[in-house]
Amino acid sequence: MKKIIIDIMGGYNAPDEIIKGVKAAMTEDDQFGCTLVGDSEKVSHLLLESKNISLEEVKFDKEEEYKINRNSKTSVSRGLELLSTTENSAFISAANTGKVVAESFMKLGRIKGVERPAIAVVIPGVKNPVILLDAGANADCRVKHLAQFAILGSVYAKVLFDIESPRIGLLNIGSEKSKGSKFYNEVHETLSNSSQINFVGNVEANSMVLDSVCDVVVCDGFVGNMVLKSMEGISAFMLGSLKSLGLDKDILLKVMRKVDYQEYGGAMLLGVNGLVVICHGASQEKAFKNAIKFATLYIENGMLEKVKNEIQIYNSQNPLQDSKEA
């Protein structure tokens, strides 16, 4: 049976909205088991009477909350330990992103051949959504890191969007081949020379959203996080403006659904040796329900093994001389 391991202490709305999300997900699909990791005193009044739900007790300790070390005793660290020893499983948390990334790196390790794990987020588009990575895990990257991000994102898009050959774009300040810094020119050349990557060239941030020119957009985490935060701010401003204008409720709901980060539940941390979903800190019931739904999809489709296979193929064709595998 598929197993979803959920940190019930992370995020601004823990644990109530998380438990609501679990209940909603199990109402739609009860073919998975769920382990809630956290303080039972916080959730005893919310727990379902279900044979498919168990609780892994971890007492809340404010001093431990932001500690990042191998001996950390938090719901995040315990959840990741369970993930590392449980087959057909995924871990979901709305805790501090930096903590989840760092703890995942320590508890799970990297997939063999992956140098840098990346955060992959789904960005809404006019025609189709697009996957953006890295969205903040790596501020400084080398050319080979972005090439690996392209492989990670391609596998993710195949599973999430059910497409055979995802189009990969490189986020840049112009669509012409020569645009951008020397670094981005080198990335462009590397991606162009890979037969494993369906590379469509440079993509501007506006085209990524408006023109659906690609399915995956690759960039370093410094740029990716700024793009993501800018889009979040603009979306919040636009929705607030539309609400103040008294827009028809049905139309407003359609617009909100288009830009709602909760539609896909959370961001995937790709490249670590386990399926890890990082939810927004402000996530509510809908986000957690969808995070569970998509996590079960990733398990069913063997996404982790597919990533391992594709990375192995890429690295065999493009040896990384200074690779430091974990």
Beta strands in the chain (DSSP E): 2-7, 32-38, 53-57, 89-93, 118-123, 130-133, 168-171, 199-203, 216-218, 267-270, 275-278
Q: Which pair of structure tokens corresponds to residue 32?
A: 């998975």
The pLDDT mean for the chain works out to 88
Class of domain 115-263: alpha beta
Whether the pLDDT of residue 66 is over 70: the answer is no
Q: Which pair of structure tokens corresponds to residue 264?
A: 């896909």
Residues 3-13, mean pLDDT to the nearest whole number: 95
* Higher-pLDDT residue of 157, 64: 157
Predicted confidence (pLDDT) per residue in 44-63, tens digit: 655 655 678 888 888 766 66
According to CATH, where is 3.40.718.10 located in the chain?
1-110+271-301, 115-263
pLDDT given at position 62: 64
Residues 6 or more apart whose Cβ sits within 8 Å of residue 61? 73, 74
Residues 6 or more apart whose Cβ sits within 8 Å of residue 161? 128, 129, 215
Predicted confidence (pLDDT) per residue in 90-118, tens digit: 999 999 999 999 999 999 999 999 999 99
How crowded is residue 23: how many other Cβ atoms within 10 Å of its Cβ?
A: 18
175: buried, middle or exposed (CB in 10 Å: 19+, 13-18, 0-12)?
A: middle
Residues 13-42, mean pLDDT to the nearest whole number: 90
pLDDT confidence tier of residue 290, bands split at 50, 70 and 90: very high
- 251 φψ region: left (φ > 0), alpha (ψ -120 to 50), beta (else): alpha
Whether the pLDDT of residue 163 is over 80: the answer is yes
Whether the pLDDT of residue 254 is over 90: the answer is no
The pTM of the full predicted model, rounded to 2 decimals, is 0.91
- Angstrom distance (rounded) from CA 220 to CA 139: 6
46: buried, middle or exposed (CB in 10 Å: 19+, 13-18, 0-12)?
A: middle
pLDDT confidence tier of residue 69, bands split at 50, 70 and 90: low
Whether the pLDDT of residue 319 is over 80: the answer is no
Tell me the sheet residues that pair with 5.
35, 91
3-class secondary-structure state, position 207? helix
* Higher-pLDDT residue of 250, 170: 170
> Which of 103, 106, 108 minimizes the C-alpha distance to 93?
103
3-class secondary-structure state, position 47? coil
- On whether the CB atoms of residues 265 and 292 are closer than 8 A, the answer is yes
Share of the chain above pLDDT 70, in %: 88
Q: Comparing 69-73, 143-147, 217-221, which segment has the lowest mean pLDDT?
A: 69-73
CATH architecture type of domain 1-110+271-301: 3-Layer(aba) Sandwich (3.40)
- 241 φψ region: left (φ > 0), alpha (ψ -120 to 50), beta (else): alpha
